[in-house]
């Protein structure tokens, strides 16, 4: 065997022949990892529609199984004419287990109601079929003509006992 090959092997020069193979394998691995990332992050979406009109000074009354919510709508006539309905959020608590004062009240259930009345700056809405005794909380969000949901009103608390 040639003496120069033995000396080269002892000094580590034989490993230089493997360096291009290793670099090529690393380059292929990086390419395989980046190949699925084509830059598309998800399906396109439209920005959320907004309506700034809201119900202010909300009050409520219960009579014969129907809740009547009333309040004032802030904003000019053009904004009021854009309102097509409302979303009524509600939550119920039993009389013997009310929420503590200052505790956050999570409004999960809602009904969308188209049969509401806006007269000038006055808002009126009726919710039929509320016959469960207890403590009820309601909140109103107006719906715009393009399906936009407005900001929440103040919460109103009703204690229904009959």
Per-residue pLDDT of the chain (162 residues; tens, 9 = 90+): 555 555 555 555 555 567 777 788 888 887 777 666 556 666 776 666 677 788 899 999 988 888 999 999 876 666 777 788 889 999 999 988 888 888 888 888 888 888 888 888 899 999 888 878 889 999 999 888 778 888 899 999 998 886
Check residue 36 and give its pLDDT.
62
Long-range Cβ contact pairs of 60-67 (< 8 A, separation 24 or more): 60/138, 60/156, 60/158, 61/158, 62/130, 62/136, 62/158, 62/160, 65/128, 65/129, 65/130, 65/131, 66/126, 66/127, 66/128, 66/129, 66/130, 67/126, 67/127, 67/130, 67/136, 67/138, 67/158
pTM of the entire predicted model: 0.66
Task: Quote the pLDDT of residue 147.
Answer: 81
């Amino acid at each position: 065997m040639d003496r120069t090959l033995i000396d080269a092997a002892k000094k580590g020069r034989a490993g230089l022949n493997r360096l291009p193979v290793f670099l090529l394998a690393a380059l292929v691995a990086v390419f395989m990892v980046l190949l699925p990332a084509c830059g598309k992050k998800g399906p396109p979406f439209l920005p959320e529609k907004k309506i700034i009109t809201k119900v202010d000074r909300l009050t409520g009354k219960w009579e014969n199984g129907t809740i009547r919510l009333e309040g004032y709508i802030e904003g000019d006539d053009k904004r009021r004419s854009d309102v097509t309905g409302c979303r009524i959020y509600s939550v119920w608590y039993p009389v013997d287990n009310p929420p503590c004062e200052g505790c956050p009240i999570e409004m999960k259930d809602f009904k969308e109601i188209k049969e509401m009345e806006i007269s000038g700056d006055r808002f009126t809405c009726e919710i039929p079929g509320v016959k469960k005794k207890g403590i009820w909380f309601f909140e109103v969000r107006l719906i715009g003509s393009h399906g936009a949901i407005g900001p929440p009103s103040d919460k109103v608390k009703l204690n229904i006992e009959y």
